[in-house]
Each structure stands twice: as C-alpha cells, then as structure tokens.
Structure 1
C-alpha cells in the first residue's frame, strides 16, 4: 500500500482516512480486488474461457467464482488489524477444484 500523508489546513480539524484497494490479475481472465475497509475481496471473471476465476489468499486457501464471464463474487476474511496479507488471482476448473494458472502475488495492509 502506498504511503499517504495528508495534512489538514490550519483551520480544519478532523480525522483523515484512506480506503485502500489493491488488485491482482491473471492475464485478461481474472481480477481479485482487496478492500482494506472491511477486509473484503471481489473476484471478477473477465474472460469467456470456460474457466473459473479464483482468489488465493496466503494462509487462507482458495475462493472461487464459478459464475462465468462478466460475473463478480465477493467474500470477507476477518483479518487482524494492521497486518500485511498476500493474495493473487488464478483461473481453474471449479468442478475438480484444479488450479490451472496464477498471476503474481500482491501484498496489502489491513486497516488498523
């Protein structure tokens, strides 16, 4: 997650917060987006290739979107606050739960 520094003007008071979304891709077939506000993931199937889009979250396993091209499926993992997580986008065969290919790992920080 990029470092963000925001200074309020002298006459302003309040809390500054940043919602962080980090996305991982596998080619043009799958996109997995993590939203640190709420520890939620979205798995998008972006190709009509007869494969399912899959999110792999390190230490937590695989999460499947078997609903076909153009679909999106969401899930939430209750992470501890302020930790770094790793995840990546993959494609696979839902019926056999076989992972075919995965993209690069992405890291993100949970809210905290």
Structure 2
C-alpha cells in the first residue's frame, strides 16, 4: 500500500513538471516572400534571412527589411546577393524576442521600379 502511494505521488509530480511546471519559450513565426526570380525566407529561430536567386535573369535579388525595436527605434536593411541563379545568401540579425519584422522580396533590375512582392510579416 505504501508503494502505491509513492508511485502515485511520483507520477503526479512528473505530470506537473511536464504539463505545467516548466516555462515555455516564445515561438516565433517564419515567413516567405517571393517575387520575379527571388525568394526570401525569414527564420525566427536564429533571426536570419535567406535570400535566394531563383532565375537566370541577370537581376540581383534582395530583401527589404523593416524593424522597430521595443524602444521605438526603426531600422531598415537591404540584403542583396549577386552570386547567380540557384545561389543563396544568409543574413543574421539579433531581433528582440516576439518583435515583428517586415520584409519583402525584390529583384534589382536594369529598369525601374524593381519588381517586389507584397510585404510579409515574421515574428522573431
């Protein structure tokens, strides 16, 4: 009888740790934007962008990035690659956890304006 009580107590303690005792980490939101000849993916785990050239069009794909930190300061970046079709570039950041990141995929072409996707939203 004493063994059953101990087993039940240990089982209850283990369930508490698994179900509610541990704190959960914030899960970010990944997102992808695509335009003519370019694919841009935001990876929330690691806070980085991957910019890929998807066409043999002599354009240089890039990501336009907008970010506002918790203090209200805004920053913008342009992450461009010129490695040719089938190649990608990785651009690391250190955004605040849970912060929104706006970005779009564009292709730097000889004519203006550059073709760009709609703005996408990721969460760090």
Q: Shorter-chain TM-score category? A: 0.7 to 0.9
1:107 aligns with 2:121: yes
Matched residues, number: 97
Aligned to 2:32: 23
Give runs of ≥4 in structure 1 deviating > 4 Å: 14-19
The structure whose residues are more often strand, as a share, is 1
Aligned to 1:6: none
Cα deviation per residue 1:5-30 (whole Å; 9 max; x = unaligned)? xxxxx698267665642101113x10
Unaligned runs of 5+ in 2: 1-14, 67-74
Cα distance in 1 between the residues matched to 2:23 and 2:86: 37
1:75 aligns with 2:84: no
**RMSD of aligned residue pairs (Cα, Å):** 2.3
Cα distance in 2 between the residues matched to 1:15 and 1:53: 40
TM-score (structure 2 length as normaliser):
0.67
Preserved contact between residue 31 and residue 43 of structure 1 (Cα < 8 Å): yes
1:42 aligns with 2:62: no
The structure whose residues are more often helix, as a share, is 2
Unaligned runs of 5+ in 1: 1-9
TM-score (structure 1 length as normaliser):
0.74
Preserved contact between residue 21 and residue 35 of structure 1 (Cα < 8 Å): yes
